[in-house]
């Protein structure tokens, strides 16, 4: 589940996971 959700962000870079967390919260 996590892989599928983070897959598009993997290509984005380091700043991607941060934005993802903010979107979830």
Q: Return the pLDDT at 12.
A: 55
Contact 10, 16 (CB under 8 A): yes
pLDDT tens for each residue of 1-25: 566 777 766 665 555 566 666 666 5
What is the span of the domain harbouring residue 18?
A: 1-25
Q: Return the pLDDT at 4.
A: 73
Q: Which two tokens stand for residue 13?
A: 């870079």
Q: Which two tokens stand for residue 20?
A: 């993802």
* Total number of domains constituting the chain: 1
- Rounded CA-CA distance 1/3 in Å is 5
In three-state form (DSSP H/G/I as H, E/B as E, the rest C), the secondary structure along the chain is CHHHHHHHHHHHCCHHHHHHHHHHC
């Amino acid at each position: 589940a996590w892989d599928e959700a983070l897959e598009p962000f993997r290509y984005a870079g380091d700043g991607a996971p941060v934005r993802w967390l903010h979107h979830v919260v």
